[in-house]
Amino acid sequence: MISKEKVYELVQFLKKSQHVRILSHRNPDGDAIGSMIAFTIICDFFNISYDLYLTDVVPYNLRFLTENVTIQFFNPKDIDELQNEQTDTVIFLDCGQLNRVGDIGEFILDHQQIINIDHHMSNPLFGDFNYVMDMSSTCELVYWIIKELDIPIPYSIATALYVGLITDTGKFQYDKVTPSSHKMAAELLECGVQADKISQLIYQSNPISWIPLLEKGLSTLELHNDNSLAIMSFTLEDLSQEDDGFDDTHVLFPIMLATESIRICVILKEKNDGTVSASLRSKDDINVAKIAQVFGGGGHIRAAGCRTRQHSLLDFKKHIYNEIQKAF
């Protein structure tokens, strides 16, 4: 459970700050964005000014969360500005590694203290203050911190926390779901969270462009190892018209993993910045975080990711395939 001492230590770090910058990882998901928004309530409570920064766009189905929130997007052109201002504390949320924030991570300055709050057990504790716990989501950790501090939770923050909880647990299906996750959900519902409305916004609000994307994905589907390994790949061309932040993994992984024989699923994507990304999901004990780590990525046993600059889509697929074979 949450430690009073640890929360007290976090508050001491925060109180030393004039201005904090709240960050989360590339390709932000519900837990990344939810925990960023939720953390603002802690800053507000202690009267500490903050800004929120991301490298990549907010996914299409999570934009309802950020309607009334100012999130700035890191642009390498802003480096001078970022280096010149008063931020003295940088908060990393849901980042299993420092480089998960993308390029902005390279511009963390010497005088800036790093607070690292996360639930990835592979986290190397890169912060000056680290709070890493084995929980369903970073939102769950932030929730229990807020509760420990006795800060009242308004509807908007409850919604952000709930979104992180349901998306990172695959709607309460994954192995990190505990009684504490359900307790949190129950208490958030008491704060007025509308579970049905949120589910509809996240899971039943895909843009119409997802249908041709699904078609493309299925047309590239490869099955290996007696139909237990599924790989889909998207070229930049496949994605170019749909690059509106639509988070296809939420749609495609559940479809593939619904198949009895499929144990591991990989989605490869060429990105605008010249990298190729791989998202991996596993249904049983094959540890996909270990596979992602081989390529400099990371994550959880059943959900992980990595990206490369060195390999083409085809090459990367081959390397990942080979690595997965070792795990079978």
Considering the complex, what minimum distance in angstroms separates the CB of residue 299 from Mn ion? 9
Residue nearest to Mn ion (CB): 31
Considering the complex, what minimum distance in angstroms separates the CB of residue 163 from Mn ion? 12
* Shorter beta-carbon distance to Mn ion: residue 107 or 174: 174
Considering the complex, what minimum distance in angstroms separates the CB of residue 314 from Mn ion? 30
CB 50 within 8 A of CB 71: no
Q: Give the contacts of 167 (CB within 8 A, at least 6 positions apart).
A: 29, 30, 31, 34, 137, 202, 250
H-helix or E-strand containing 277?
A: strand 276-282
Positions that interact with Mn ion (CB under 5 A): 31, 94, 137-138, 168
The separation between CA 72 and the C-alpha centre of its own chain, rounded to angstroms, equals: 17
Considering the complex, what minimum distance in angstroms separates the CB of residue 138 from Mn ion? 5
- Provide DSSP, 30-81: HHHHHHHHHHHHHHHHTT-EEEEEESSPPPGGGGGGGTTS-EEE--GGGHHH
* Shorter beta-carbon distance to Mn ion: residue 126 or 321: 126
Please give the Cα distance from 288 to 327 (Å, whole number): 9
Considering the complex, what minimum distance in angstroms separates the CB of residue 186 from Mn ion? 21
* Shorter beta-carbon distance to Mn ion: residue 40 or 137: 137
* Shorter beta-carbon distance to Mn ion: residue 66 or 225: 66
Length in residues, the chain: 328
* Shorter beta-carbon distance to Mn ion: residue 168 or 248: 168
* Shorter beta-carbon distance to Mn ion: residue 203 or 321: 203
Please give the Cα distance from 299 to 289 (Å, whole number): 5
* Shorter beta-carbon distance to Mn ion: residue 31 or 247: 31
CB atoms within 10 A of CB 76: 10
Considering the complex, what minimum distance in angstroms separates the CB of residue 119 from Mn ion? 6
Would you state the structure tokens that stand for residue 112, as one six-digit string? 């800036």
- DSSP structure class, residue 13: H
CB 24 within 8 A of CB 35: yes
Considering the complex, what minimum distance in angstroms separates the CB of residue 191 from Mn ion? 21
What is the per-residue burial (b if ≥16 Cβ within 10 Å, else e) of 6-28? ebeebbebbeebeebbbbbbbbb
